[in-house]
Structure 1
Amino acid sequence: MYRVDELVERVDGRDRVVGVVSRRQAIRERWLHRVAVTVCRDGLGRVLVHRRAEHLSRFPGLYEVVVGGAVTVGESYEQAAARELAEELGVRVLPRLLFTFVNRAGLSPHWLGVHEAVMPDSVMPDSVVPDPDEVAWYGWLTEPELRSALLEWRFTPDSHEAFSRYLALE
């Protein structure tokens, strides 16, 4: 869930903590902080795509290939990714951290921890219960369908950057 006044750790160019600030201040001052996102796949290899709710202050109505949010004070990337999956999709799985990088797309620069979670059959497909305050629509797309959607639909900057790096790992 996007809470602009939550406390986050300000980090340096090597992802080392240098202080605690509000997320609002980190964005306003363009200070590096941490964000954790997860690419969700099902047992068939399809990728979960969702559209952000229209009332959200950040990127309303845009599509995302990743689920995530800010890493709060004292959290690891993995803990934040798992928390965000539970909050936004109602799914409790342990995502696997794949890589981190400084992402300069979006509202302000941030370290982005990109995870992957393969949804077990026990949470597929009806057990995904998106938070309507966060998610207006979701669906499972094959990679060819997703590649087409990335060209035709309006996605968040994080989605494009994170997913292109994610595909480079395969």
Structure 2
Amino acid sequence: MHALAELARKSVEEFIRNGRAMKLSAPLPPEMCEKAGVFVCIKKDGQLRGCIGTFMPCRENIAEETLNNAISAATQDPRFPPVEEEELGRLKYTVDVLSAPEKVTSMSELDPEEYGVIVVSGGRRGLLLPDLEGVNTVEEQLRITKMKAGIMPGESVEIFRFRVTRYQ
């Protein structure tokens, strides 16, 4: 397990068992000291159990983003009840570190296996990570992302793409 996925696991376990966020130990590995958006996804028995993240950095570094987003994925994802202690041994963690979003001017610049997307219309925005099972076309990727944001199919949107480095 990569150090970021291990950090996500330890963060969730400490919070669920003891009700507090763990303290990060210094010094951090160099790849955790940078700033970036981070998504933490949790699966149980191969099924999504929670996924929360930030598309732009909100914390001091990738380690802080991972720690906070792991706890949020386990306890705040509105699609699922909070993780319970008896589930902890069955959970698998994925940490996606996002590149800075770049504006897209043509659909040909998108590829659902390589790029995640962000759609923006007014104050609404939605994000979908790349390389997700069952999302095979740009049209499907954009449809799902707009739906997540509450944007109607015909509404015009700004589209941004990003890459992820995925750690498991």
TM-score, with structure 2 as normaliser: 0.29
Say which one has the larger Rg.
2
Give the structure with the higher percent helix: 2
Give the structure with the higher percent strand: 1
| Greater RCO structure (CA 8 Å; 6+ sep) | 1
